[in-house]
Amino acid sequence: MNLKPTLRDKKKEATAFALAEAAFELALERGMEGFIVDDVVQKAGYSRRTFANYFSCKEEAVAEYFIGNASTEDENSLLADLPPDATPLDALHSLFKLQFTSEFLHKLRQFVSLAHQYPSLEPYILSVFRRLQIAAREMLEQFTHGRYTDGYSHLLAGAVYGAFVPILDGQLNVLLPGEVQEDNSDAVSFDQYLNTMFAYLRNGF
């Protein structure tokens, strides 16, 4: 059961996000080699000691920018709005759309591009997706109330989030929201890909 965050919890989350956002913006502006932790804390308006309370390095701070984009309140609202006959896959589909907004998708692609340029960021790609999958599994377990085995939510979340990775690293020709299809391109829109992916999961391969 998720506990309602306290005022202190919210303040800590806001501090972590401000530091992470500053680190991400500096990474885009200067590249990972063009700034240090002191630049991050100056931009965010905090001390280096505060930074050390949240992150071990600037790479971790950049990655954290992509964590927790769907808050507990959002997930609780999502579950409350699902119809009575909704399946676990329906719940996961709704969460996926909640997490992967147009803005988040474009910034996440920027993060993957940065990681390709700066190998020190690459280990954190897996960390980002792992944290998103954990949030999905926790939501599914809350939604199903123990009606399925422990491995069910792991398998379902792993299948959905695993299918998303090739979009970001360029293995699949999928247009993110706002991108325009070029002539003679076989690209599909993100919504088309998402619907096809969930259709496979619902109907089998």
Tens digit of pLDDT for each residue in 70-126? 444 566 677 788 888 899 999 888 888 888 888 888 888 888 889 889 999 988 887
Higher pLDDT, 197 or 180: 197
Tokens of 133: 């999958």
Average pLDDT, the chain: 85
pLDDT at 54 over 90: yes
For position 184, what pLDDT does the model report?
63
**Arithmetic mean of pLDDT, 186-193:** 88
**Arithmetic mean of pLDDT, 8-37:** 93
114-152 residue pLDDT tens: 988 999 998 888 788 888 888 888 888 888 888 888 788
Contact in structure between 111 and 63 (CB atoms under 8 Å):
yes
Contact in structure between 26 and 114 (CB atoms under 8 Å):
no
The CA-atom distances, in angstroms, between 181 and each of 173, 185, 187 are 10, 7, 7
Contact in structure between 70 and 131 (CB atoms under 8 Å):
no
For position 135, what pLDDT does the model report?
83
pLDDT at 1 over 50: no
Report the distance separating Cα 166 and Cα 153, nearest Å: 21
Higher pLDDT, 158 or 19: 19
Q: What is the pTM assigned to this prediction?
A: 0.74
pLDDT at 67 over 80: no
**Arithmetic mean of pLDDT, 53-70:** 83
pLDDT at 154 over 70: yes
For position 74, what pLDDT does the model report?
64
Q: At what angle do helices 37-44 and 7-30 cross, to 10 degrees?
A: 120
Residue ranges in 6-149 assigned as alpha helix (H)? 7-30, 37-44, 48-54, 58-64, 72-81, 88-99, 102-117, 122-144
160-170 residue pLDDT tens: 888 888 887 77
For position 70, what pLDDT does the model report?
42
For position 71, what pLDDT does the model report?
47
Domains parsed from the chain with CATH numbers: 1-65 (1.10.10), 66-205 (1.10.357)
**Arithmetic mean of pLDDT, 54-72:** 79
